[in-house]
Structure 1
Amino acid sequence: MKKILCLVAILFISFNLSATPTKITVRVKAKDAKFIGNSMGGAHIIIRDKISGEILSQGKTTGGTGNTGLIMNTPRERGMRISDDGTSGYIAELDIDEPLLVRIEVLAPFNKKQASVAASTEIWVLPGKDILGDGIVLEIPGFVIDILNPRTHQFISLKSLKDGIIEVKANVVMMCGCTISDGGLWDANKMEVKGILKRNGKALGEIDLNIKEPNLFAGNFKVDGGGVYELIVYAYNPESGNTGVDKINYIINE
């Protein structure tokens, strides 16, 4: 019996010794923008065995959004890196003894649940063959939108409104948190930002929202009756195809 136990132990030790630590860098980049890092809560990474579904590694990307000039303004040649040591990323270390097909899943930006988007890819990982540098880069499309006014489930008296006017305000940023401004690198004038208004489930029309200061869009509409209102604010960039949405409900009492 002791001999059998010793043999099992030797085989177990031999198996573990044959596993080779292998590093994989995963980065998450906003479409038409920079990397998703600490300023947006990072991106949550899960690396699974493709066949069994077992989670081999998970965590969040950490670091900055990267070098703006390098990422956004420099023509990229084959083999050229767009990240540096400070650029947000997640380094996983897998102990494997043979080639393994893994599935890499990301959810980002992690701290903005209403705007989070999932992406995934699959790759063969080879023992001892690290994937570093830019590593595996997954792209996340969209905008992060937060409706600031009216507030969620706010009760508003129709009598309190001057001439029945309500101002709609929304904060709109790139998925990496990059600033949208009038004439800036992420130019607000190239984006369509509008509100879609409903009352008691029936459509009332659209509201044009214009840039007022960096990331802040605003517009007005006139209220002519009470009810339960739904406001949908969307952003659309026809050049990049990026889209984003936020929704709230509020109540107007006559």
Structure 2
Amino acid sequence: MKKSILFLALFSICINVFATETKLMVRAKAKDAKFVGSSIGGAYVIVRNSLNGQILAEGKTTGSTGNTGLIMKSAHERFTLLSDEKTAGFLAVIDIDEPTYVNVEVVSPVNKKNAQVKASTQLWLIPGKDILGDGVVVEIPGFVIDILTPNTHQYIALESVVKTGVKIEANIVMMCGCPIEKEGIWDSNQMEVKALIQKDGKNMGEITLTNPKQNTFDGQLEIKETGYYQITVYAYNATTGNTGVDKINFVVRD
């Protein structure tokens, strides 16, 4: 028994001796936008051994969304670095003793569950051969949409809205938190934003939402009857193929 324990201890020491520290930079980049960083809570990264699922490293991307001019306004030649030392990323430091095939899993944005995207890729890690710079960049498609009004499960008296209607207001940003506004870098004029309306499970039509100020989209819903209402707000950019959705339910009563 003692010999077995000693053998296992020596074996473990040998593994650690021959394992080599290997660094892997992982970044999450919003589709048609910038890197997912601290300003929106980051992306959560998990690096796994693809053979047995063992987690080799995990953590959140931290740092800035990156250089807007470089990322969004400049033509990029081969080998152009889009990141710098301040740009958001997660540096995985992994000890391996042989080439290891890994899964890189990204959940982003980690703090916005209604908009979260799970994206992944795979690659070989070679002991001691660091992958730095931009590193592995995982694209995160979509928009972060939060319906602000009406709010979830709100009860509204019919008499209070039968003349004025109910205001629909949503906050919409890129997946990195980058702002959307008319004539901006992320131009709301290029985006279709609508609210789909249901009452008691039946479709009632749609309302186009306008963008009066940065990140804010709104419209007015006419209400004539009591019932259970559902609002689905979607954003769609035909040029990039980006889409996003949020839903809420509310009640109109006597």
Q: Given the two structures, how large is their TM-score scaled by the length of structure 2?
A: 0.96
What does residue 48 of structure 2 align with?
Answer: 48
- 1:81 alignment partner, SS class: coil
- 1:186 alignment partner, SS class: coil
Contact map agreement 1:20 1:95 (CA 8 A) in 2 = yes
What does residue 253 of structure 1 align with?
Answer: 253
Contact map agreement 1:158 1:164 (CA 8 A) in 2 = no
Shift of residue 16, structure 1, vs aligned partner: 1.4
**Partner Cα distance (1:67, 1:99) in 2:** 34
Contact map agreement 1:164 1:224 (CA 8 A) in 2 = no
**Partner Cα distance (1:69, 1:55) in 2:** 36
Larger deviation, residues 151-160 vs 10-19? 10-19
**Partner Cα distance (1:206, 1:2) in 2:** 75
What does residue 30 of structure 1 align with?
Answer: 30
Query: Once the two structures are aligned, what percentage of the paired residues are identical?
Result: 54
- Over 3 Å counting, the alpha-carbon distance change for 1:5 and 1:58 in structure 2 is closer
Shift of residue 11, structure 1, vs aligned partner: 4.1
Shift of residue 158, structure 1, vs aligned partner: 1.0
**Partner Cα distance (1:2, 1:233) in 2:** 66
Contact map agreement 1:140 1:175 (CA 8 A) in 2 = yes
Larger deviation, residues 6-15 vs 209-218? 6-15
Instruction: Give a deviation string over 1:222-244, Cα, whole Å, max 9, x none.
Output: 11100000000000000110000
What does residue 179 of structure 1 align with?
Answer: 179
Contact map agreement 1:236 1:243 (CA 8 A) in 2 = yes
Contact map agreement 2:162 2:222 (CA 8 A) in 1 = no
Tell me, yes or no, if structure 1 residue 72 matches structure 2 residue 72: yes
What does residue 192 of structure 2 align with?
Answer: 192
1:213-228 matches, within 5 Å, as 213-228=213-228
- Over 3 Å counting, the alpha-carbon distance change for 1:81 and 1:2 in structure 2 is same
**Partner Cα distance (1:23, 1:223) in 2:** 58
Shift of residue 9, structure 1, vs aligned partner: 4.5
**Partner Cα distance (1:7, 1:48) in 2:** 28
What does residue 82 of structure 1 align with?
Answer: 82
Query: What is the root-mean-square deviation in Å for CA atoms of aligned residues?
Result: 1.5
What does residue 119 of structure 1 align with?
Answer: 119
1:117-196 matches, within 5 Å, as 117-161=117-161, 163-196=163-196
Instruction: Give a deviation string over 1:198-249, Cα, whole Å, max 9, x none.
Output: 0000000001100010000011121110000000000000011000000000
**Partner Cα distance (1:2, 1:227) in 2:** 74
Total equivalences in the alignment: 254
Q: Given the two structures, how large is their TM-score scaled by the length of structure 1?
A: 0.96
What does residue 107 of structure 1 align with?
Answer: 107
Moved over 6 A (4+): 1-5
Shift of residue 14, structure 1, vs aligned partner: 2.5
What does residue 63 of structure 1 align with?
Answer: 63
Instruction: Give a deviation string over 1:98-134, Cα, whole Å, max 9, x none.
Output: 0000000000001100000000000000000000000
